[in-house]
Structure 1
Amino acid sequence: MTVILEPEGLYPDNSVEEPIFGPGVRILRGAARAHLSELPDELCAEAEGLMTLRLAVPGDQLARFPKLRVVVRMGVGYDRVDRAACAARGIKVCNVPDYGTEEVADHAVSLALGLRRGLFLHHETQREDPPAKWGVIGTPLIRRMSVQRFAVLGCGRIGTAAALRAKAFGFDVVFHDPHLPNGVERALGVRRARSLEELMEQADVLSIHCPLTRETEGLVSAKALALLPAGAVVVNTARGPIMDLDALESFLRSGHIAGAGLDVLPVEPPVEPFPSLLRAYRAKEEWLKGRLVITPHSAFHTPEAWDDIRRLSAETIRDVLLTGLNTNVIPPGL
């Protein structure tokens, strides 16, 4: 009998999973909140499939799962799973790349628009005591969309959706993704940058949408950020470690970068000692007013997205574990 383990107890029952898995599949649920090690050994001993959202799957925990054959990360990113350790055991690792596309793309473009229209800046000034004068504020943040280039780093499902949304708002859209074949740009009606450097040099708005891999960790470095046009805006709804947060702070302080919207941070939730930029943000330092917006990795969130996570995760583990398909299997080398 195949046993599926959903270790965080995210959902109250098995009403969605049971029809997808069919008869003969016993579903075990845990109540771990911080670490996989919180799960009882007897649950781990039976699990052939593991579906996890927030909990990491470190290699040192795999020995507790002697029957494990598939790990499904209930989301797009898969950096929380030790794929090398899984590969050594012959355990397949999957993600769920087709959920939350609309939500994250909407969130990314909303951050860019909110910064570029001065929404956050003017909102903050009107809350001051005494309130700031009534009227507009001169700032390099605010520009007409149609005179700007919206640069998408990573043009997968979410990056594509963000590109199309930005195009609808009048941006000149350009993307860089070395893994996509030629012709994508014609299909989308956008332009292609052949290198990261070419993308950065024309990014009035940079929107990051690539996965966190060995290739992309630290990709948006100080060297890369220095190539941005003066007054650029940076948005990251992908993964925190892709961008150098200290470098972002430096360019924000100098004014070279006008504003930033972050839904992700290098460490989540942030812990002491906080990065310098986060300390300044929380202290409401004057130089950051209206220029930095941080949301708590919530870009994916809608009730509809939560339903999609559950259903699509179950369908993925059914395909791989029960029918032998390779749906959403991540190659170990990525």
Structure 2
Amino acid sequence: MLTLLEPESLYPDTALEQRVLGDTIRVLQGNAKKSLLELPQELCDQADALMTLRMAVPKEALDRFPKLRVVLRMGVGYDRVDRAECARRGITVCNIPDYGTEEVADTAIAMTVALRRGLPLYHDAMRADPPCPWGVIRSPIVRRFRGQGFGVLGLGRIGTAAALRAKALGFRVSFFDPYLPNGADRALGLTRMDSLEALMRESDVLSIHCPLTRDTRGLVGAAELAALPEGAVVVNTARGPILDLDALEAGLRSGRIAGAGLDVLPVEPPVPEPALLQAYRAGEDWLRGRLLILPHIAFHSPEAWDDIRLKAAETMRDVLVRGRRTNVIPPESD
């Protein structure tokens, strides 16, 4: 019998997983809080497969699993799994690419709508002591949606969902994704840009949706942000290290960037706090109403939480029992 290890005890029982996996795989739960290194070695020795949500899977952790055949990341991103080391050991790496698609896209659009309609601006102003005068606050962050450029960096499942939502709101939607086959732009009624710089020039709102890889780490830096139109808004619901936070702070301080919505940061939790987060938490006047920060929760809804559990079990069954390639991440794609 094969053994699947859930190191984090995310759920009160394993009944759902056992029902999907059948009687050829037994499911064990660990009680690790922060690291796979916390697990008792006797659990690691038994594991043919590992299914983890929050835990990183570095080489030193892999050393503890002599039988490991499959690592499944219970989410879309897989940047915290040492895929090169897994490949060397013949360990298959999988993810759940269709989990949280609607929720993350909805969050990206919600932050765009909130910022472009000035909701944080007025919310902060009405709570001030004394509150702002009853009326309009002149700010470059407030714009009509129709006719603005909404740029999508990475037109995968989530990027596509965000693009279609933005299009429905009247934005002029374009995207840059060098890995996407030709024709997607025509099928969706979007404009494809042939370079990142071209996308930036057209993006009154930039929404980041690419995975974190060697190629995308630091992809949006000072030069890219400087290419955005004056008064642009930047939204990142993908991965924090894709966006240079210091460059974003500089753009916000100068006023060239009107606002930003961040569900992700380069280090999570952010310790030590970057300068931008310190200014945000201190309520500094120059930033008031211009920045939204969420604690990496764009994926979440009760329905999505149920989805991830079911989809993870189904993927593990396909790969470990049925020998399929469901949601397998090829090593060379990094």
The interval holding the TM-score normalised by the smaller chain is over 0.9
Partner of 1:69: 69
1:304 aligns with 2:311: no
Per the TM alignment, residue 210 of structure 1 is displaced from its structure 2 partner at its CA by 0.2
Matches within 5 A, 1:48-67: 48-67=48-67
Counterparts of 1:195 and 1:247, CA distance in 2: 20
Q: CA deviation at 1:132?
A: 1.1
Aligned mates of 1:106, 1:239 — CA distance in 2: 16
In the alignment, which residue of structure 1 is the partner of 2:90?
90
Alignment of 1:191-270 (within 5 A): 191-270=191-270
Displacement of 1:147 in angstroms is 2.1
Q: Distance in 2 between matches of 1:9 and 1:191?
A: 44
Identify unmatched segments of 5+ residues in structure 1. none
Matched, 1:21 2:11: no
Whole-Å separation in 2 of the counterparts to 1:8 and 1:90: 24
Q: Deviations over 1:203-230 (max 9, x none)?
A: 0000000000001000001111110000
**Equivalent-residue separation in structure 1 for 2:42 and 2:277 (angstroms):** 42
Q: Deviations over 1:105-128 (max 9, x none)?
A: 000000011000001100110001
1:324 equivalent in alignment to 2:323 = yes
Alpha-carbon offset, residue 331 of structure 1: 1.3
| Distance (Å, rounded) in 2 between the aligned partners of 1:134 and 1:50 | 57
Deviation of 1:10 (Å): 0.1
Give the share of equivalent positions with the same residue, in percent. 68
Aligned residue in 2 for 1:189: 189
Where does the alignment leave 5 or more consecutive residues of structure 2 unmatched? none
Question: Distance in 2 between the 1:255 and 1:69 partners?
Answer: 51
Partner of 1:281: 280
Deviations 1:43-97 (A, max 9, x none): 0000011000001001111111001000000000000101111111000111100
Q: Return the offset for 1:24.
A: 2.7
SS at match of 2:62: helix
- Which amino acid in 1 is paired with 2:108? A
Letter in 2 for 1:299: A
Q: Deviation of residue 159 (structure 1)?
A: 0.2
AA aligned to 1:125 is A
Matched residue count: 333
Distance 2:71 2:25 in 1: 16
Match of 1:34 in 2: 34
Partners of 2:19 and 2:312 lie apart in 1 by: 13
> What code does the residue aligned with 1:294 have?
I
Q: Could you tell me how far 1:16 is from its partner in structure 2?
A: 1.1
User: 1:118 maps to what in 2?
Assistant: 118
Q: Which residue of 1 aligns with 2:157?
A: 157
Please give the TM-score of this superposition, normalised by the length of structure 1.
0.99
Question: If the length of structure 2 is used for normalisation, what is the TM-score?
Answer: 0.99
Residue identity in the other structure for 2:269? P
CA distance in 2, matches of 1:178, 1:131: 48
